[in-house]
Amino acid sequence: MIIHLNKEINKNDAYKFSEKVQGKLIFNEKDKIIITSSKKNDYPKSYNKYVDKSFTLESDIQLASRQYKKHTRNVKINNVEIGGDSDNTLMITGPCSIESREQITKCAGLLKKLGLTTLRAGCFKPRTSPYSFQGLGLKGLKMLSDIRDEYGFNIISEVKDSSHVDDVIKYTDIIQIGAKAMYDHGILRETGKQDKPVLLKRGFGSNLQEFVQAAEFIMSEGNQNVILCERGIRTFETKTRFTLDLCGVSYLKEYTNLPIILDTSHAMGYSYGVPDLTRACVAMGIDGLLIESHPNPKLAMSDASQQLNFEEFENMFSSLIPICKSVKKNLI
């Protein structure tokens, strides 16, 4: 149940109300909302004077449900918008990891050449092996910030644990929560207290209910600027790295009100299949793409097999434009 409070209520009374119904309180300049379990469908009548309107929902997917908000939420990333009334498909590209200033400057040159707006690169890398490259950390974030200042790009980078949140917020424009951190409630809650957009990746062993409920953890802290990212799930198939769940994407488009971005690089795991998979995604009318590109993938310090070189990326990008137009989308 979602209860919208009116302007007359003060924070102390709102808190008492939320405690009475065992709910979660969002109280800020924009929103005064109490969210309770879907099993609750009523509240004490003595609080009627504070209630503007209420919504009874069928499950604990509430703030992200189309039952609550019919239209896709608009997420603004500085001068770029996705979701809502926007017809943009946002292309986010860059290397898996920032490795050097020379490397990231070359990547910035690719974005500038194609007129793109958003650069990705990992600084804190949650690797499976402790002996793999773990990222440049704060040094890498500062390099990305320099690139943003020089080129005007929006920057996205991943939070590895909750201790990195402040640094990532300071130096980037979108906070990425990776698949391995989807269940990290510390990260979910901390990013929920911010007002910057959060890109939440689906855990590779998570079902759709768990995925969206992770988004609800962020939203219930007050941050409604959440973007879902499908990046492939683990199945019995071993010839590709993961299996991109396009059926799941259709479900998310139908039943949730959050913008959806697809990461075909991690799903496929091999660069040869990324362009075809990406074209299929664009045909679904999605809100964005997350594609890894690198000046020389063979020399990449992480995920070398799935990153496109610049020529491959440009060829793929050109092929996406007419598909975007066919579904009334603009590739930016």
pTM of the predicted model, to two decimals? 0.95
Superfamily of the domain at 74-331: Aldolase class I (3.20.20.70)
Cα dihedral 215, 325, 276, 305 in deg (nearest 10): -60
**Per-residue pLDDT tens over the stretch 196-244:** 999 999 999 999 999 999 999 999 999 999 999 999 999 999 999 999 9
Domain boundary assignment for the chain: 2-55, 74-331
The letter for the amino acid at 53 is K
Asked if 267 and 248 count as a contact pair (C-beta separation under 8 A), the reply is no
**Per-residue pLDDT tens over the stretch 88-122:** 999 999 999 999 999 999 999 999 999 999 999 99
285: left (phi over 0), alpha (psi -120 to 50) or beta: left
Asked if 242 and 205 count as a contact pair (C-beta separation under 8 A), the reply is no
Asked if 168 and 141 count as a contact pair (C-beta separation under 8 A), the reply is yes
Please provide the size of the chain in residues.
332
Q: Which tokens go with 49?
A: 């004077």
30-51 mean pLDDT: 88
